[in-house]
Amino acid sequence: MFTYCYVSNALTRQHVENYYKFIFKKIQPSSTSCLVNLHSRLLSDATPCIVMLNIMVSLYHVSHKSGILYVMNIKHKLQYLSVVLALLLFLCLTVGVMSNATWIDSLNRLVRNIIQQRSPLADSFFFNVTQLGGVTFTILLTIILSAILGYYHHYRQLGFLIVNVLFFAGFITQLVKRFVQNPRPLPQLIPESGFSFPSGHTMMAVLLYGTLIILAHINIKQQHIRNIILGLLAILMVLIPISRIYINVHHPTDIFAGVTLGYSLLVLSTKIFHIGGTYDSK
């Protein structure tokens, strides 16, 4: 202890500054300067042991905060990278479908052979699952959720929901469908009309149920209830797109396009409305 006190008493402002710069090379200069100013004042009127204790405590807090910020920065970069990759995949699928590429047909045939293992039980199951991504059910669910969010004055979350369902899953999907004009596969277990690429049900599954996952994570405080709801919503996000392939109203590449575009739009929406992740809840 005597050695620490002696050394800390001999520290000058320049020594402290060099010490911080050596340890926290990645911290902004303003943070280092702030610490140096604090401890230079402590050095002038406090005992050496107290000075050393304050330095150690400050080092812990700054390093802890810097570690959290560093991890958050990595997460943001990975999220941006995933969006870029999703958009590139969507672009490749779009070009492949519009150019009638042979690899598109091969991919569709491969996935279709895996999923379309027909049976009366599977027919009934996927027929009911696909209704959960249909227009009637999703509009009704959106109206109920909008009323709840409006009642509790969660207006940012309300805007987040409306934009994702009506504009992204609705308008953007139809815009892309009319641009690509890809016909649906035949024969179908349930008659469907209109263009195929991308899958509207898949876009709705990703954007609506993805939105609900984010809102549930924000608003539901009981962890076990939240985990159950998140699990159920995640299952629906997987089963609804699969059901569209099973009943043969979409090509598998329509599903992949819906997933990649829907995910990219969902992430974009979280940035627009500052919802999810490190953003506040309202």
CA–CA distance, 202 with 176 (Å, rounded to integer): 14
Answer whether residue 59 shows pLDDT above 80.
no
For the whole model, what pTM was predicted?
A: 0.73
The answer to whether residues 105 and 196 belong to one domain is yes
pLDDT the model gives residue 75: 77
Burial class (CB in 10 A: 0-12, 13-18, 19+), 241: buried
pLDDT in tens, 38-56: 455 544 545 555 555 455 5
pLDDT the model gives residue 77: 84
With a pLDDT cut of 90, the percent of the chain lying above it is 65
Does residue 79 form part of some domain?
A: no
pLDDT the model gives residue 17: 53
pLDDT in tens, 141-186: 999 999 999 999 999 999 999 999 999 999 999 999 999 999 999 9
The count of structural domains within the chain is 2
User: By residue range, what is the domain housing residue 48?
Assistant: 2-64
Does residue 30 form part of some domain?
A: yes
Does residue 262 form part of some domain?
A: yes
The answer to whether residues 178 and 38 belong to one domain is no
CA–CA distance, 33 with 37 (Å, rounded to integer): 6
With a pLDDT cut of 70, the percent of the chain lying above it is 72
pLDDT the model gives residue 183: 94
Half-sphere exposure of 93 (CA within 13 A, CB side): 25
pLDDT in tens, 236-269: 999 999 999 999 999 999 999 999 999 999 999 9
Does residue 82 form part of some domain?
A: no
- The CA radius of gyration of the chain, in Å to the nearest whole number, is 27
Domain boundary among 41, 64, 87: 64
CA–CA distance, 207 with 192 (Å, rounded to integer): 21
The answer to whether residues 48 and 105 belong to one domain is no
Give Cα separations from 104 to 83, 91, 184, 193 (angstroms): 22, 13, 14, 21
Q: What's at 39, amino acid-wise? A: H
pLDDT band at 78 (very low <50, low <70, confident <90, very high): confident
